[in-house]
Amino acid sequence: MSQLPATTAHLRILRQSFSEQFLNGEVSAGGFEWQFTWQFDRGELNVQPSLGKALIEDALLRFLLKADYHLEPGGDYIFTVRSKF
């Protein structure tokens, strides 16, 4: 049986505000780098730049929803994207 494609994503939380209900950070995977803002009160994720955004957006949102209360500014995290890029 062949293995599923996978890419490791590296995430760093830069800023977090519970009063304003957002999280800022950067994520990189497969040679791409993005900055993101997650408005967790509304469940809105903004990823920039748009180049390669479709590769990471869904996996990043799933990771943020799953790990949100464990994330801290300055923290480095990894997660797996189920595709190769």
**Alpha-carbon gap, residue 18 to 34, rounded angstroms:** 22
Amino acid at 29: A
What is the predicted pLDDT for the residue at 1? 60
What is this structure's pTM? 0.89
- Looking at the predicted structure, is the pLDDT value of residue 72 above 80? yes
pLDDT digits (tens, 9 = 90+) for 13-67: 999 999 999 999 999 999 999 999 999 899 899 999 999 999 999 999 999 999 9
Instruction: Break the chain into its structural domains and give their ranges.
Output: 8-70
Average pLDDT of the residues in 58-77? 93
